[in-house]
Structure 1
Amino acid sequence: MPVEPLAERVDSALSVPVRSEIAAFAARLAKEANARAVLFYGSNLRSGSLEGVLDFYVLTWGPRERGLWPRVGYHEMETEGGETLRAKVAEMRLTTFAHAASGQHLDTTIWARFVQPATIAWAADDAARDAVASAIRAAAVTAGRFAAALGPERGAERDYWQALFRATYRAELRVEKPGREQQILNFGAEHFEGLIPAAWQAGGVAFARDGETLQPDLSEPERKRILTRWHRRRRAGKPLNVVRLLRAATTFEGGARYLAWKVERHTGVAVPLTPFQERHPLVSAPVLITNYLRARRRAAKGGR
C-alpha cells in the first residue's frame, strides 16, 4: 500500500538525527517527566548549535488536560565535556497536544508551531513515535485548511504560507518584526516546499495546479465556515495568551536562573541567587535587580 505524501514527509522530518548532547538532554527530560516522547525544534535544530537556549516539548502520558497548558520551565544540563546546556522546556500530555494539533481547540499555537520543522529527540516506543507523527500530520492538515481560506484565491505556495503566518501572529500575543514569516520560510525552504499541496491532499481539500500556481477549490459555504472558525480563534487568541503568560509568571520552573543567565550573558555580570529566589522568581524580582546592580558596582570597582 503506497504511503501518502504527507505521511512520508512527516516521518522523514521527525527522523532527522540530533547531536548526542541534545539526545542525552532529551532522555534526561523524558526520565524526569515519565514522558512518551520529546520533540526538539527551533533555531538550534536548524543550525545544529548548542549555543543559547534549546527548545524542547515534552509529551507525557494521560488523558487530555483541561485548563491551561503547557507548563513551561528552564532547565540546565552539564555535558560530559563540562559544557552547560540551557533549554526552555514545555510539557503537556500527548493527548492534549494531538487535540490542539487537529485544530479542535481555540488555541492556534500548537499547529502553527509544529507545521514548522521539528524532530523526535526521544521516544518511549514505536507507538509513541506513531502518535506524535499522527499529531504532526494533523497540524499540517489544520494549517493547510486555514491557509486555503486565508490565502489568495490562487497563488504560489509561498503566498498561502505568508497569509497563514501573518494571521497567526495577529491572533497570538506576539510582536514579530515585519517579514518574520519570510525568514521562517527562507530558513525552512526545503521543509515547506510542497507541504501545502500534500496537506490539502491529506485533508481532502481539492485544488488545481498550473505550474507553480495553486488554486484551492473551496465552495463559498466551506470558505465561510473555515473563516468563521478562524475568526473565533483570532478573537480568543490574545486573551488566551495573556492568561497563559500570567500563569507562567508564577509557575515558570527555573525562571530565576533563566533571568540570571540572560543578565550575565548580555552584561557579563553574574547575579547570585539564593534557594528562595530560585523558587519564587516573581516575588524576588526586586531583590534580583538589587543584586544585579550591586554585582555590577563590584565588577566596576574591580576593573579600576
Structure 2
Amino acid sequence: MPQLLPLVTAELAAPADPRAAAMAGALAAQYPDAARAVLFYGSCLREANLDGLMLDFYLIVSDYPAAYGKGWLARANRLIPPNVFPFEHQGLIAKYAVLSEADFARLNSPAADNVSLWARFAQPSRLLWASDDLARQRTIAAVAQAAPTLLSLARPMVKEGGDVLSLWTSGFALTYDAELRAEKTGRSRSIVDADPDRYRRFGDAALADGLPPAPQDAPALWRALQRRGKRLSVIRLAKASFTYAGGIDYLAWKINRHAGTQISIKPWQRRWPLLGALTLLPRLFRGGAIR
C-alpha cells in the first residue's frame, strides 16, 4: 500500500482531544498484561466539546486469555467478537470494544464475515495509545486494510462512470443495510459529505495501490453479509446485556440521538435488560429507527 499507508499513518497520528487521549491511557492501564493499542473513533471524533457524549474506543489486546484469564468473557470475546464495556474517566463516559490483534487484522480485511469493523475503520480514527512500536505498526497495517476492503466489495455494485466519492457513498450505504443501525436514512451520504477531500484522497490512493480482488458474485455476498450482520447485531445486543452495565439505557440514548425518537426505558426493562432490549426491536423496526 505505497500510497494509502502514509495517509492512514498520518491520520491515526493526528491530534485528538487531550481528554480523549488521557482516557485511552487510563483504559489501557486496566489491562496491563494484555493492552496493545487503543483507538478512538466515531462521531465524537469530530466534536469540540465531549461533555455529555458517549465516546467510542477499541481496545486491542494480545489475546483474550491475557485480557480476562480463562473465564467466560474470554470465550465470549473469541466466539462473538467484540466484547463491549462501559468506561468513565475524569468526567467523560465511553464504551469500548475489545478485540485481539489477530481478530482486529482479520475483521478489517476481505476475510471478515461481517462489515462492522472495516465499515468503521474506513472512516477517520485516531491511535491514541500503543504499548510499543510493533503494536503501533500492526494496528496501522490493520486499519489500512479497511478502506480497500470497503471499496473492493462496493465496486461491483456500483454503475460504471461514477467518481470515487460515489463509490464511497454506495459502499457505506451497503454496510448500513448489513447492520441494525439507529441512524436516519441518508447518514451514509453525510459521512462522505462531511469531508469529501479526505475520502477522495484515500479513495484515489487505494485505487492506485490496487484493490483486493472483487468477489465473483458480489450481490450474493452482500445479501449474505446483510443477513449475517443483522443476526449478529441481535446476538451482540443479547451478549451486551451481560457485559455492559446500563446497556439498555445506552441503546435507547443512541437510538433517540440518531433517529429523533423519544424512547424511554421502564424499570422492568432495566431489571431484565435482555428481555427489555428484545421487546424494543418490533417498535424500532416499525418506526424505522433501525434498519
Q: For 1:33, what is the secondary structure of its paired residue?
A: coil
SS in 1 for 2:222: helix
Please report how far the alpha carbon of residue 60 of structure 1 lies from its aligned counterpart in structure 2 after TM superposition: 0.7
Q: CA deviation at 1:104?
A: 1.0
User: What are the residue-to-residue correspondences of 1:209-248 with 2, within 5 Å?
Assistant: 224-248=216-240
**Equivalent pair of 2:42/2:120 in contact (CA under 8 Å):** no
Q: Which amino acid aligns with 2:117?
A: I
Q: Secondary structure at the match of 2:114?
A: coil
Shift of 1:240: 1.6
Q: Specify the SS of the correspondent of 1:57.
A: strand
Distance in 2 between the 1:260 and 1:42 partners?
18
Alignment match, 1:70: 82
SS in 2 for 1:4: coil
Distance 2:98 2:110 in 1: 19
Q: Which amino acid is 1:77 matched to?
A: H
Structure 1 residues 244 and 260, CA, compared in 2 at 3 Å: closer, same or farther?
Answer: closer
Inter-CA distance 103–223: structure 2 relative to 1 (3 Å threshold): closer
**CA distance in 1 between partners of 2:242 and 2:168 (Å):** 35
Superposed CA RMSD in Å reads 3.1
Q: Which runs of 4+ in 1 moved over 4 A?
A: 256-262
TM-score in terms of structure 2 length = 0.76
Encode CA deviations 1:245-296: one digit per residue, 9 max, x unaligned.
Answer: 111122214548868999xxxxxxxxxxxxxx9xx9543799xxxxxxxxxx
Change beyond 3 A, Cα 1:119–1:224 = same
Matched-pair identity in %: 35
Within a 5 Å distance, the mapping from 1:36-55 to structure 2 comes to 36-51=36-51, 52-55=53-56
CA distance in 2, matches of 1:10, 1:241: 28
SS of alignment partner, residue 103 of structure 1: coil
Deviations, residues 142-187 of structure 1 (Å, cap 9, x unaligned): 0110121122212122211121111111111114312111211122
What secondary structure sits across from 1:18 in the alignment?
Answer: coil
Per the alignment, residue 268 of structure 1 pairs with none
Distance (whole Å) between structure 1 residues aligned to residue 144 and residue 102 of structure 2: 14
8 Å contact kept, 2:240–2:247 = no
Cα contact 2:176–2:188 (8 A) shared by 1:
no
In the TM superposition, residue 204 of structure 1 has moved relative to its aligned partner by 4.1
- SS of 2:78's equivalent in the other structure is coil
> Residues 174-189 of structure 1: matches in 2 within 5 Å?
174-189=181-196
AA in 2 matched with 1:245 = L
The equivalent of 1:6 in structure 2 is 4
How many pairs are equivalent?
A: 251
In 2, distance between residues paired with 1:241 and 1:223? 24
Corresponding residue for residue 99 of structure 2: 92
Partner of 2:69: none
Structure-1 separation of matches of 2:21 and 2:62: 20
Partner of 1:300: none
Separation in 2, partners of 1:252, 1:191: 34
Q: Which consecutive unaligned segments of at least 5 residues does structure 1 have?
A: 79-83, 206-217, 263-276, 287-304
CA distance in 2 between counterparts of 1:259 and 1:104 reads 29
TM alignment of 1:115-134, pairs within 5 A: 115-134=122-141
1:1-304 to 2 correspondences below 5 Å: 4-34=2-32, 35-51=35-51, 52-62=53-63, 66-78=78-90, 84-204=91-211, 224-253=216-245, 255=247, 282-283=271-272
Distance 1:93 1:127 in 2: 14
Q: Give 3-state SS (helix, strand or coil) of 1:194's partner.
A: helix
1:66 aligns to what SS in structure 2? helix
| 3-state SS of paired residue (2:79) | coil
- Gap change, CA 1:97 and 1:153, over 3 Å in 2: same
